């Protein structure tokens, strides 16, 4: 019996080690910019991480400049910008090099394209109108070829979660992934490595947990890799995710938390790096 317990513990430890590919660099509180700066639900980082954009679930947008000391985040300058759709429940953001910004929202489910400061709602997939008001398009990403990718917090039915893609103004389903009701999708990005990254959240009375998974976008049916599962309460309600490369060409993942305008929660920015990239950088030093 005790041998079985020992074997089970060993397997559990080995599984945890196999999953932990990301190393925490920073977890910093976000400053109190103004009375609208709360409920941060999405983040988009520039290619080298010098600047970024936050969006909130009340439709506000902020530009951010990051000051770093080596791998560590030291300070942020955050400024609210004029925005054409204040009041909207914005959950996801994705941008193109030509300046177009895409947003996903819920209640109702929608995807909006903003060009020259003018919003334009894109024609929805038929499924969108059937999603629960507060469980719809939490995540938005954009591929190198311009395809938009989004998915709901909960599927309409069944055990599979659809990932929708928009190509040539037509929606289709890229793939379906197994749905785990204990971890709900809340953020996504396509990294510079061509992988689709998915941020998922779990909540209990003890606090929040977060999970990151990914798959190869060039091969949509490829194996889904587990990169990280945090401890309960390690971070707050992480909802936005952005994957980028730093000046040394190392992959980083930046996430932000939504405090739900609750004084007992915290708005924070969290940054992780892949373990092998961090080790390589340390050897070079």
Q: What is the pLDDT of residue 107?
A: 74
- How far apart are alpha carbons 115 and 102 in whole angstroms? 9
d(CA 258, CA 253): 17
Q: What is the pLDDT of residue 84?
A: 60
Residue 14 is predicted with a pLDDT of: 41
* pLDDT tens, the chain, 285 aa long: 334 333 333 333 343 444 558 999 999 999 988 888 999 999 999 999 999 999 998 889 999 999 999 889 999 999 998 776 666 789 999 998 887 899 999 878 999 998 877 889 999 999 999 998 778 999 999 999 999 999 999 999 878 999 999 998 999 999 999 899 999 999 999 999 999 999 999 999 899 999 999 999 989 889 999 999 999 999 999 999 999 999 999 999 999 999 988 888 989 999 999 988 877 766 544
Helical H segments across 120-221, by residue range: none
Contact status, residue 166 vs residue 111, Cβ threshold 8 Å:
yes
The C-alpha atoms of residue 7 and residue 42 are separated, in whole angstroms, by: 41
Where exactly are the structural domains of the chain? Answer: 23-284
Convert the pLDDT of each residue in 195-215 to its tens digit: 999 999 999 989 999 999 999
265, with CB counted inside 10 A (0-12, 13-18, 19+), is middle
* Sign of CA pseudo-dihedral 229, 56, 94, 120: positive
Q: At a CB cut-off of 8 Å and minimum separation 6, what does 39 contact?
A: 56, 57, 58, 258, 259, 260, 261
pLDDT single digits (tens) 16-25: 444 558 999 9
Does the domain at residues 23-284 carry the CATH identifier 2.120.10.30?
A: yes
Task: Say how far apart CA 282 and CA 276 lie, in whole Å.
Answer: 10
């Amino acid at each position: 019996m005790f041998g079985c317990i020992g074997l089970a513990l060993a397997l559990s430890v080995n599984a945890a080690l196999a999953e932990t590919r990301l190393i925490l660099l920073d977890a910093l509180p976000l400053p109190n910019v103004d009375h609208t700066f709360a409920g941060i639900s999405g983040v988009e980082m520039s290619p080298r991480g010098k600047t970024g954009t936050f969006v909130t679930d009340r439709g506000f947008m902020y530009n951010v400049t990051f000051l770093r000391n080596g791998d560590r985040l030291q300070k942020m300058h955050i400024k609210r910008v004029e925005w054409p759709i204040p009041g909207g429940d914005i959950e996801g953001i994705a941008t193109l090099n030509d300046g177009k910004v895409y947003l996903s929202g819920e209640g109702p489910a929608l995807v909006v394209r903003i060009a020259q400061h003018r919003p334009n709602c894109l024609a929805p997939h038929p499924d969108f109108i059937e999603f629960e008001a507060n469980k719809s398009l939490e995540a938005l990403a954009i591929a190198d070829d311009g395809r938009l990718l989004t998915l709901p917090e909960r599927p309409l039915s069944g055990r599979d979660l659809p990932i929708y893609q928009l190509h040539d103004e037509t929606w289709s389903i890229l793939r379906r992934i197994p749905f785990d009701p204990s971890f709900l999708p809340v953020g996504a990005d396509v990294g510079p490595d061509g992988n689709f990254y998915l941020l998922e959240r779990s909540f209990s009375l003890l606090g929040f947990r977060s999970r990151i998974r990914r798959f190869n976008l060039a091969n949509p049916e490829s194996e889904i890799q587990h990169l990280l599962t945090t401890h309960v309460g390690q971070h707050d309600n992480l909802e936005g995710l952005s994957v980028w490369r730093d000046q040394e060409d190392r992959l980083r993942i930046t996430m932000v938390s939504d405090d739900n305008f609750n004084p007992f929660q915290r708005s924070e920015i969290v940054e992780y790096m892949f373990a092998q990239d961090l080790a390589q950088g340390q050897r070079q030093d």
